[in-house]
Structure 1
Amino acid sequence: MDLHRSRAGLVVGVVMLPIGFCMVLSGLTGSTLRLVGGLIFGGLVMLVGTAGIVEAVRPFRFHIGFDGLTVRTAGLNRLLPWAEIDHLVLDQQPPGLSDKRMPSPLLLLVPAARSTLDLPLTHRSPWDDRPCLVLLDVHDVREKTDQVAAALARYGGSRFTDHRQIVRQRFDSARFPVEARGYDRAAVDAVVQKGREALRSEDFLGRLGAKAEVELALAELPLVAHGYDRVRVDVFLRDLSAALGRFEEGEEESG
């Protein structure tokens, strides 16, 4: 399976270059302040547009096949045979409150001991915390994330882990014991189901909205006779909230 570079950067560049050029021309016909503003802001817009076009036309290849991965990206331009790959992990980071869209899924490569890969391993695998290389930012290609995952699973076999599925399965399999006085089961089931659905989605606002509802439920779930165990539900909902949206660094460490 061949992956193809996204055209988003090219489209942005083609749009922004003439806008920046017009801003510069507009500054030339006005006062000194307008001239300076036009040159600065117009130049910045043109710079961003040029960067988008350069990135879009930069040589790129990513082929997933029986022999391994043939790549021309991430500082590589060669075949990575499966024997050189110990593990591939597809990781989806949760959105932070400062993010304006869902972070892109990343394909991480943990090299095998016999690998001749000599690039710096700047990340850690969410699967086992081993050093790894970011091989692909999935938003940079036209194929959908699930299509990429299916191809990697087909050809990579046990070398590939879709960490998104691990996270989802963790929350799909939860069961709560019932105690004499606990949380209303219908209320818990409703908020858990909404959180699970949001976790499967790449809708940024939907995930943040579900996170807010989960945190509100933690403070307001009604108590009833023969309800769900409160300690188990509280732990589960805190973990679900953390998966839906990244906490501030200090809060993560304190949890």
Structure 2
Amino acid sequence: MDLHRSRVGLVIGFVLLPFGFCMVLGGLGGSTIRLIGGLILGGLVMLAGVAGIVEAVRPFRFHIGFDGLTVRTAGLNRLLPWAEIEHLVLYQPPPVLSDKRMPSPLLLLVPAPRSTVDVPLTHRSPLDDRPCLLLLEVHDVREKTDEVADALARYGGSRFTDHRRLVRQRFDSARFPVEARGYDRAAVDAVVRKGQQALRSEEFLGRLGAKAEVELALAELPLVAHGYDRVRVDAFLRDLSAALGRFEEGEEEPG
């Protein structure tokens, strides 16, 4: 299976170039301040457009096959045989509240002990914290994330782990003991279902909306006779909230 670079950067680049040029022209007929502002802002916009186009057209190859991965990305330009790959992990970072969009899923490579991969291992595996290489940001290619995952599972076998599915499976098995006085079971089940559905989605607003509902439930779940164990539910919902999204850097999550 061949992956193809996304055309989004190219389109944005060709939109920014004339927009920046128009800003420069608009500043030419005005005051000195307007001229300087037009030159600076227009120039920056045009530079951003050029950068997007250059990024979109630079050489790229990513082939998934029986022999391994043939790549021209992440500082590599060669075949990576499966024997050189200890593990591949597809990891979906949770959204950060200070951002405006869902972060790209990341394909992380843990080299085998005798691998000749000689580029810096700048990331850590979410499975066991081993050093790994960021091989691909999946939003950079046209193929859907599930298509990439299916191809890696088909050819990589046990070397590949879809971390997204591990997270979903963890929260799909929500079972709480009942105590004499606990949380209303219907209310808990409803908020858990919304969180589970959001975890299966890559929609930014949907996940953050579900996170907000989970946080609200932690503070307002009603108590009833023969309800769910409060300690177990609180711990589960805190973990679910963390999986759905993160707070801005520098802020602590409520505990």
Q: TM-score range by the shorter chain?
A: over 0.9
- Cα offset, 1:27, TM superposition: 1.2
Letter in 1 for 2:238: R
Q: Secondary structure at the match of 1:237?
A: helix
Q: How does 1:109-120 map to 2 (within 5 A)?
A: 109-120=109-120
Distance 1:81 1:43 in 2: 45
Superposed displacement of residue 143, structure 1:
0.2
Q: Which amino acid aligns with 2:117?
A: L
- Taking the aligned partners of 1:188 and 1:131, their CA distance within structure 2 comes to 38
| 1:30-179 equivalent positions in 2, closer than 5 A | 30-179=30-179
What CA distance in whole angstroms lies between the structure 1 residues aligned with 2:127 and 2:75? 24
How far apart are residue 92 of structure 1 and its match?
0.4
Q: Which residue of 2 aligns with 1:195?
A: 195
Equivalent residue of 2:175, what SS?
coil
The question of 1:251 aligning with 2:252 is answered yes
Distance in 2 between the 1:213 and 1:57 partners? 42
Gaps of 5+ in 2: none
Change (3 A) 1:249 1:199: farther
Q: Quickly say closer, same or farther: Cα 1:44–1:250, change in 2 above 3 A.
A: closer
CA deviation vs aligned residue, 1:80-100 (integer Å, no higher than 9, x gap): 000000000000000111111
1:251 partner amino acid: E
TM-score (norm 1): 0.97
Specify the code of the residue in structure 1 equivalent to 2:243: A
Amino acid at match of 2:205: L
Displacement over 2 Å in runs of 4+? 247-252
Q: Which amino acid is the alignment partner of residue 200 of structure 1?
A: R
**AA matched with 1:120:** P
CA shift, 1:221, in A, is: 0.7
| RMSD, aligned α-carbons | 1.1
Q: Matches of 1:203 and 1:178 in 2, distance apart? A: 34
Q: 1:34 & 1:249 partners in 2: Cα distance? A: 37
1:251 to partner: Cα distance: 2.9
- The Cα shift of 1:249 comes to 5.4
Unaligned runs of 5+ in 1: none
The number of residues matched between the two structures is 254
Deviations 1:221-248 (A, max 9, x none): 1111111111100000000001111135
Q: CA deviation at 1:38?
A: 0.7
Instruction: Show the counterpart of 1:214.
Output: 214
Match of 2:231 in 1: 231
Normalised by the length of structure 2, the TM-score is 0.97
Tell me how far apart the structure 2 counterparts of residues 186 and 28 of structure 1 sit (CA, whole Å): 66
SS of structure 1 residue aligned to 2:252: helix
Matched to 2:207, the amino acid is R
SS at match of 1:55: helix
